Amino acid sequence: MRLVKHDLNINFVGRRKTAIILSGGLILLTFLILIVRGGPNYGVDFAGGILTQVRFNRPTTPDQIREALTTIGMGDSSIQEFGESKNLEYLIRISGTKAEGNDVSKDVENALGTIIGKDNIEIRRVEMVGPKIGKDLREKALLAIFYALLFMVIYISGRFEYKWTVSIIMAISLAIGVYFISLIGMSIIWLIAAAVLIAIGLCWFLRLEYALGAIIALFHDVVITLGAFAITNREITLSIVAALLTIVGYSLNDTIVVFDRIRENQRRFKNYNFEDLINHSINETLSRTLITSITSLIVIVFLFILGGGVIHDFAFALMIGVLVGTYSSVYVASPILLVWKGQWWGGDFLKIKEEVREE
């Protein structure tokens, strides 16, 4: 099954300058938002505290809820509408510093009942996570994403460049580097950022071009997805970490398909410009890429619309991730390979097309 013509001729790599500006701008915007807001908007899973889901039997505003919470000294709690407006449901998040003791949720219920009326409220869900547990979960989640990226890059190096020994050397060097950096006492976020920079440097030094393209593309996808959450002020929870790991796997799978065709075409077209080779490979795999992305998006969009508030953010993360992952396989991972061939600028895409027609 093909969605596009077999002789499609789109110069994807020729638009790499525009792609670099777009991707760089989105990543920079993400970092600026995170710096201004003091980091991601962590949910109760990671920040610690109490999350209470309340349903009201009559229209209620966040101001009324906040007024009720003020009577127990929690007026600065986060109040967020949950699901559709007609459901009259709200999520109330109390920070970890104030969520100590077993009677906090009961105090919230009583305070709301005093102002709004006990007959008009229904406590649907209560989740409690201690601040220390939340911190541990946050660090483990970040490490899970980092190690997923690392081992996928090692696999790419061995799979496409037959450099398993070099890949193992890179993994050992990275582990040693991370160990010594951790001795300084860096926070987990800065530690992972340093580790990613070390990994990129090792890929460059050891000339692991496919691995470099893959790790930059995966980093690009995760950061932009986090940026979408920062812009929309959505919370980062354990389910979102699961979504990010899913995005990493999806994006890498798409990148592997393109890389595999590039390597195959390198054996077929040995005398032609590498930029032409990449373009031809992307066009050949475009139909498969679109079919995979569209079928995935159809399911995710319906989850987003009809799945309810519980998985709404999860579906949102997957939706952004699939779009960005498809884009990065074409416009981020593949053009990185041109750096090693010294063909970052220029190229004639007609030569390969003519040879394909002759065959």
Strands 49-56 and 121-129: antiparallel
Higher-confidence position of 222 and 148: 222
Find the angle CA(63)-CA(67)-CA(72) to the nearest 5 degrees: 145
Which stretch, 33-37, 122-126, 339-343, 353-357, has highest mean pLDDT? 33-37
Higher-confidence position of 34 and 104: 34
Indicate whether 176 pLDDT > 90: no
Indicate whether 316 pLDDT > 90: yes
Residue 108: CB atoms within 10 Å:
25
Q: Which amino acid is at 287?
A: S
**Candidate from 150-164, 213-227, 228-242 with smallest mean pLDDT:** 150-164
- Does an H or E element contain 280, and which? helix 274-306
Q: Which amino acid is at 39?
A: G
**Candidate from 81-95, 186-200, 316-330, 341-355 with smallest mean pLDDT:** 341-355
| Average pLDDT of the segment spanning 183-200 | 71
pLDDT digits (tens, 9 = 90+) for 52-70: 778 887 777 777 777 777 7
pLDDT of residue 324: 93
Burial of 261-291, coded b for 16+ CB within 10 Å and e otherwise, reads bbeebeeebeebbbbbbbbbbbbbbbbbbee
CB-CB contact of 287 with 271 (8 Å): no
Euclidean distance between CA atoms 285 and 255, whole angstroms: 10
Residue 84: CB atoms within 10 Å:
10
- What's this model's pTM, rounded to 2 decimal places? 0.77
pLDDT of residue 299: 92
Structural domains of the chain sorted by starting position, each given as residue range(s) with its CATH number in brackets: 13-41+133-358 (1.20.1640.10), 49-129 (3.30.70.3400)
Strands (DSSP E) contained in 12-76 are 49-56
Q: pLDDT over 90 for what percent of the chain?
A: 9
Please state, rounded to an integer, the average pLDDT across all residues of the chain.
77
pLDDT of residue 29: 92
Higher-confidence position of 259 and 49: 259
Euclidean distance between CA atoms 323 and 336, whole angstroms: 19
pLDDT digits (tens, 9 = 90+) for 80-137: 777 666 777 877 777 655 555 556 667 777 777 776 667 777 777 777 766 666 667 7
| Average pLDDT of the segment spanning 282-296 | 87
Alpha carbons within 13 angstroms on the beta-carbon side of residue 200 total: 14
- Does an H or E element contain 93, and which? strand 89-95
Phi/psi at 121 (nearest 5 deg)? -125, 150
* SS3 state at 311: coil
pLDDT of residue 343: 52
